[in-house]
Structure 1
Amino acid sequence: MTAILGISALYHDSAAALLVDGEIVAAAQEERFTRRKHDPRFPARAIAYVLEEAGIGLDAVDHVVFYDKPFLKFERLLETYLAVAPRGFNSFRMAMPVWLREKLFLKDLLKKELRKFDRGFQEARLMFAEHHISHAASAFFPSPFEEAVVLTIDGVGEWATTTVGIGRGHDLEIRKELHFPHSLGLLYSAFTYYTGFKVNSGEYKVMGLAPYGTPRFKALILDKVVEVKEDGSFRLNQKYFNYASGLTMTSKAMEELFGAPVRQPESEELTQFHMDIAASVQAVTEEIMLRLTRALAREYQIDSLCLAGGVALNCVANGKILRDGAFKNIWIQPAAGDAGGALGAAQAAWHMELGQPRKINGADSMRGGYLGPGYSDDQIAEELTRAGAVFERLDEAAMIDATAQALAGGKAIGWFQGRMEFGPRALGGRSILGDPRSEVMQKLLNLKVKYRESFRPFAPSVLREHVGDWFELDGDSPYMLIVADVQKDIRRDMTAAEQALFGIDKLNVKRSEIPAVTHVDYSARVQTVHRETNPKYHALISRFNELTGCPLVVNTSFNVRGEPIVCTPEDAFRCFMGTEIELLVAGNHVLRKEAQDPALRENYEEKYELD
């Protein structure tokens, strides 16, 4: 047996992943255990979990692999500060103590932490992978492809911000790189900051806001802010940014260019201007990604594309790449951000360092993304009892029927089943579910359950065998990373008065037979549900279809705004009691809100820092 532990840590989204003889046994983010969103600390809890899942101690692990090379990152930091000196001194002054205390001596920190698991841990077992190799490995090695172009796009690793690799068998070679400060991820993050959202967590809000606007600034951004070549390579005009030298993402020049200051999130409302800015940066991102992928398809003449890095979570752009058809097949790592680097680092060691072959059987090796902790019915009952919950335990068929009936009756359901998902999306393991036919469900879930902005869209989970009947998608999207349009025959034409509406006023217009998951531009972020990877979720949606003639449900992550997705039955019960979720279904246990002790209610609306 050969066991490899991959770790990502100390920037954001720390995580651990474990391979045993090349098979993915377990992977999880530290935030799920600590309940601290995007937790960057050493992932001690996640490591403890993956080892427990495999039934081994750290002493049985052959190699521990860290997902990037801190000395290269430090080199980039120093060179950047020297290039812009004396500007950036405040940023330098704040960054250096952390680097000198922790990150520069990362090897010592890792040894110290790992010896808490295995007192005899030796440095010889420690390996380091480059950041973009970790991303690229996480994209290619679990994919179902024998050969693929591998594109990784994020903020920045050590120096690279965009890389192109070619994967064949168990080989992966990086062919091209774009370097800091020219970064599509940092461009998107700069506009996230400019529109008043939090960098490294609010980017998906910009993507969700974009359809409410028109991309009237796209030409201005392409003229002044980012120069894009025909092959998709690009350069950012640093005049408009401050991330290389300062403590903010954008400079005064950005405010002068668009004629407005950075939006203050707590005091300033979103306006049509901010929606148009969001639409414009989204359109620029799509333009760059389409030029990149078309050029790569022409150059390498390979049918398949793999994607990772934080920008690969831009599911609107992914949908456009798929429909563009330059590549016949696309596979995106579901944990595309830094958390997935833990998995990629382990896989890079197994295949590239140890030279082990890949097993390709026509499906990816991510097990549907269900790589986190799972709980037996007895364990669930024990935790719920300890928390003071009142519940009934049904057999599986009765539980499925009761849940489907409640969904058909318009109830918001907390759904806690099987193993927790790895990555930022809930995929039917730790989900809040609703009826997609409801005209009020989208607003209800946003304002009364998630405690978040009303404009944010929800995703449909649809039976794979019915996806083409409801969406303009002919293929798999198991990880909710592809946006497709709702089929024309279930859309509702808008009246002239409705078409004249602007911005957020568009929100309440019914657009289709499934209004709760149809965004204002008739799009939806689709998750296809497969009997092979999640039989219980598939059975629930099948029963809902029998009751309603609708083979899909609303699926959003089981958490409130600012909270990590729930991990344990106790987490699920607390969130259930702190929100207006009406029914919690954990394993085969059904909990009704009206049966619970009202003294156990929590004020979840203010419990977590806003994301």
Structure 2
Amino acid sequence: MNILGIFGGYYNSAACLLGSGRLLAFIEEEKVSRNKDEKGFPVKAVKYCLKCSGLKLSDINYIAFPWQPLKNLTTLPLIAVKEMIKRFFSSGAKTTPSSKLPAGFHDLLVLLQGAESQTRHMISAGLRYNGIDGRIPPIVFTGHHLSHAASVFYASGFDRSLIYVTDGMGDDLSTSLWIGEGKSLRSIKKFYFPNSLGEFYAAFTEFLGFEPYSHEGKLMGLAAYGEKDDEIIEKIKKHIISYHNGKYQVNSLYTVNGAHDYGERFTNLLVDLFGSPRLPEAKIETFHFNLAHAAQALLEQASENVLGYYMKKTGIKDVCISGGVGMNCKMNGHLLHALPIEKIFINPASNDAGSAMGAALALSMQKGVDPRFTMTHACFGPGFSSVQVEAVLKEARVKYRKSKNIPEDAAKALAQGKIIGWHQGRQEAGARALGSRSILASPLSKSMIDKINKNVKHREPWRPFAPSLLAECAGDYYSLGKMSPFMILAFTVNKDKRRIIPAVTHIDNTCRPQTVTRSDNPRYYDLIRAFEKKTGVPVILNTSFNVRGEPIVSTPADSLRCFFATGIEQLFIEDFIVEK
């Protein structure tokens, strides 16, 4: 049985292909379309999945789509009416009278157009208009949060797990908890939109001058520079968010329900509470740092309250986390340290892109084909042979040479303080580079942070970098010493190592590590091992192979363009070294 999972038309468009219950291919549309945060139909991702597996559309038994369009015609209009009534009777509504409908629901007509027949047409037209011929297979709609739950539990290798799904909105839900056991997934708690931790965090992301539903990672990084400000925290807890006994409540009058004269994801009431929002690229003041710190801390505390309550209630200590908020590695690390979690799994594509994978996994299980596996790597995207790469290099007429030992030569360059591009094997899934499409450097000098941010990434100077390290050395370098193959958990760097790896130690002494094993990525492992032999440190700096505002590179041509447009000093691409 072949199942094509797709998600598009909202955020994080992606496609995934399962063959006989086995994950054959997965990629986000932005990586092949080259449009950051691609929201359209994932036609290029679908074409890649079919090509990779050697299948035609007529070979696909089902298309799985992680949304329930019926919710757009039933639950969501009722929620909109309730929110209008809530705002009408709220005292704050009198100060912000400009919106006739809650601003978060101005696109209600668009949602209504997402009814089942229109969504089927979007999928069929997306295939046909882009030259994908053949019989359109039956389209099956799976619940959005069910898909998120499936994307982690069925890929975790766990026999039994508590699953925490939290995002901005999926169908009519914003947070849900599940128990995964064997082949089954059972919902045990639901929080309905607009009571949303994702919307809470998006509101502060945009208020601080960043793009909501895209730059939440910037808010997370900024938070480490702030300090606890009791006045800010008390204001937020009094007016916007509360949590107790396994429940949280986000006041939608500050997020989606009200006049939005200053931003898309926060209302004028947030401006009344904290003053004018920061404009993009404006100077970041102490207040902004402290506000980011407060938003991050309250997200962590609310999630700790909910997840901790249900861990105690169920007695389950193995945990899966998914949904867009699950991309917040600082929150994930906090939960791992604060709660009695024994094992944890988070899909590297836990955002909506991963729901395409989850939809395919969930449908496969429903059809009687067990798709469970243990995800130890994320390399399900395009790969290119050395023959293909050399053809591109010759066409581009660049200076290159073939290496007898790529890991050894790369380690030598890193030990010399060079910044290198690393393009090897199949592309990784998710927002983080994991040793397939990476920019690498030595972590031994703090000055490397400014060098890469200024000369290569062209991004804000306070943005941190992450370490890749040999898995067997994890306990020597950070708290708990647990495996973290997907760079999606934050840990505290051990005190005696902070001065050794300053370029990958954030200002709050945390890091977002990737543990590397030889079985999952032999060439990358050998590189780090070779670097250790030269420096005594089994750690390198790893950041995504892209510049600010662009997706991670995918093809050899993408890597060449990024290499020659930035301060990257050498490119190691399959068996070749490209020079400038």
In the alignment, structure 1 residue 440 sits paired with structure 2 residue 440: no
Aligned partner (choices 342, 352, 355) of residue 338 of structure 1? 352
2:512 counterpart SS class = strand
- The answer for the alignment partner of 2:408 in structure 1 is 401
Which amino acid letter does the alignment assign opposite residue 378 of structure 2?
G
Q: Is the 8 A contact 2:157 2:372 kept in 1?
A: no
TM-superposed deviation, 1:250:
1.7
Cα pair 1:459 1:554 within 8 Å, conserved = yes
CA gap of 1:92–1:276, structure 2 versus 1, over 3 A, is: closer
- The residue number in structure 1 matching 2:555 is 568
Change (3 A) 1:90 1:208: closer
Residues 72 and 115 of structure 2 are in contact (CA less than 8 Å); yes or no, is this contact kept in structure 1? no
Partners of 2:17 and 2:118 in 1: CA distance: 24
1:467 aligned onto 2:466:
no
CA contact (8 A) 1:313 1:481 kept: yes
Distance 1:588 1:155, change over 3 A: same
Q: Superposition pairs for residues 196-345 of structure 1, below 5 Å?
A: 196-216=209-229, 217-231=232-246, 233-242=247-256, 246=260, 248-258=264-274, 260-266=275-281, 268-345=282-359
For each residue in 1:488-530, what CA deviation from the matched residue of structure 2 results, as whole angstroms up to 9, or x when unmatched?
1223xxxxxxxxxxxxxxxxxxxx2211001111111111011
| Alpha-carbon distance, 1:240 to partner | 2.1
Cα distance in 1, alignment partners of residues 75 and 393 from structure 2: 50
Correspondences of 1:416-565 after superposition (within 5 Å): 416-491=423-498, 512-565=499-552
Distance 2:171 2:3 in 1: 23
8 A Cα contact 2:28 2:45, kept in partner: yes
Residue 382 of structure 2 is matched in structure 1 by: 373
Q: Does 1:584 align with 2:571?
A: yes
1:154 to 148, 167, 180: 167
Residues 58-73 of structure 1: pairs in structure 2 closer than 5 A: 58-73=57-72
Aligned partners of 1:356 and 1:253: how far apart in 2? Answer: 50
Who is 1:22 aligned against?
21
Q: Is the aligned partner of 1:105 residue 2:115?
A: no
Unaligned runs of 5+ in 2: 86-98
Distance 2:466 2:177 in 1: 30
Q: Determine the structure 2 residue equivalent to 1:603.
A: none
> Structure 1 residue 253: deviation in Å?
2.0
Distance (Å, rounded) in 1 between the aligned partners of 2:270 and 2:125: 44
Matched AA of 1:580: G
Amino acid at match of 1:310: G
User: Which piece of structure 1 moves more, 578-587 or 110-119?
Assistant: 110-119
CA-CA distance at 1:96 after TM superposition: 2.9
State the alpha-carbon separation in 2 of the partners of residues 325 and 82 from structure 1: 38
SS in 2 for 1:370: coil
Letter aligned with residue 553 of structure 1: I
Contact 2:103 2:258 in 1 (8 A): no
Shift of 1:319: 1.1
User: Which residue identity lines up with residue 426 of structure 1 in the other structure?
Assistant: A
CA–CA distance in structure 1, aligned partners of residues 529 and 252 of structure 2 = 53
CA distance in structure 2 between the aligned counterparts of 1:117 and 1:473, rounded to whole angstroms: 51
Q: Cα distance, 1:468 vs. partner?
A: 1.1
- Residue-by-residue CA offset, 1:333-387 (whole Å, 9 max, x unaligned): 1100000000000000011x21333556xxx2x3500110000000011112222
Deviation at 1:248, TM superposition (A): 2.2
**Structure-2 change in CA distance of 1:82 and 1:566 (3 Å):** same
Correspondence for 1:121 among 122, 131, 135: 135
Gaps of 5+ in 1: 492-511, 594-611
Change in 2 beyond 3 A, CA 1:244/1:254: closer
State the SS of the aligned residue for 2:198.
Answer: helix
Contact residue 17 and residue 24 of structure 2 kept, 8 A: yes
Question: What is the CA–CA distance in structure 1 between the aligned matches of 2:289 and 2:103, rounded to whole Å?
Answer: 32
1:56-95 equivalences under 5 Å are 56-83=55-82, 84=84, 87-88=100-101
Q: Distance in 1 between matches of 2:217 and 2:520?
A: 26
- Separation of aligned partners in 1, 2:372 and 2:81: 47
CA distance, structure 1, for counterparts of residue 103 and residue 489 of structure 2: 41
The CA distance in 2 between the partners of 1:45 and 1:200, in whole Å, is 22
Query: 1:112 offset after TM fit, Å?
Result: 2.6
The letter of the residue matching 2:389 is I
Displacement, 1:241? Answer: 2.5
Pair 1:92–1:459, CA change in 2 (3 A): closer
Q: Which SS does the other structure have where 1:198 is aligned?
A: coil
Kept in 1, the 8 Å contact 2:226–2:293? The answer is yes
- AA aligned opposite 1:450: K
Q: Which residue of 2 aligns with 1:383?
A: 392
Contact 1:74-1:104 within 8 A present in 2 as well: no
Tell me the number of residue pairs that the alignment of Structure 1 and Structure 2 aligns.
Answer: 561
Code of the aligned partner of 2:216: E
User: How far apart, CA to CA, are the structure 2 residues paired with 1:403 and 1:244?
Assistant: 54
Distance of 1:91 and 1:162 partners within structure 2:
18
Please give the alpha-carbon distance, in whole angstroms, between the structure 2 residues aligned to 1:98 and 1:21. 34
Q: Does 1:171 align with 2:184?
A: yes
CA distance in 1, matches of 2:255, 2:337: 33
Answer whether contact 2:72 2:111 (CA < 8 A) is retained.
Answer: no
Among all aligned residue pairs of Structure 1 and Structure 2, give the percentage whose two residues are the same amino acid: 37
Distance 2:107 2:472 in 1: 54
**How big is the shift at 1:120?**
4.3
Shift of 1:228: 1.0
SS in 2 for 1:154: strand
Q: Distance in 1 between matches of 2:528 and 2:104?
A: 51
Q: Tell me: CA distance 1:530–1:73, structure 2 relative to 1, closer, same or farther (3 Å).
A: farther
Residues 470 and 555 of structure 1: CA distance in aligned 2, closer, same or farther (over 3 Å): same
Query: 1:177: Cα distance to partner?
Result: 0.3
Name the CA distance, whole Å, in 1 between partners of 2:113 and 2:343.
45
Say if 1:119 and 1:377 are closer, same or farther in 2 by CA, change over 3 A. closer
Candidates 194, 200, 203, aligned match of 2:207: 194
Where does residue 509 of structure 1 map in the other structure? Answer: none
Change (3 A) 1:571 1:461: same
Q: Tell me the CA shift for residue 257 of structure 1.
A: 1.7
Distance 1:55 1:244 in 2: 50
**CA offset digits 1:195-224 (Å, max 9, x no partner):** 111001111111101111013122321222
User: In angstroms, what is the RMSD of aligned CA positions?
Assistant: 1.9
**CA–CA distance in structure 2, aligned partners of residues 102 and 171 of structure 1:** 28
Show CA shifts across 1:282-313 (max 9, x none). 11011011112211111111221111001111
- Secondary structure, counterpart of 1:482 in structure 2: coil
Contact 1:208 1:456 in 2 (8 A): yes
Local SS of the residue matching 1:554: strand
Report the counterpart of residue 96 of structure 2 in structure 1. Answer: none
Equivalent position SS for 1:250? coil
Given residue 475 of structure 1, which amino acid in structure 2 is its aligned partner? K
- TM-score of the pair, normalised by structure 2: 0.93
* SS at structure 2 position matched to 1:389: coil
Q: Which residue identity is paired with 1:22? A: G
- Listed one character per residue, the Cα deviations across residues 312-341 of structure 1 (whole Å, up to 9, x for unaligned) are 111111112112242211111110000000
Residue 90 of structure 2 corresponds to none
**1:228 to 1:104, Cα distance in 2 relative to 1, 3 A:** farther
Q: Name the SS for the 1:378 alignment partner.
A: helix
Task: Identify the residue that residue 89 of structure 2 maps to in structure 1.
Answer: none
User: How far, CA to CA, are the matches of 1:181 and 1:95 in structure 2?
Assistant: 13
Q: 1:557 to 1:74 in 2, by over 3 A?
A: farther
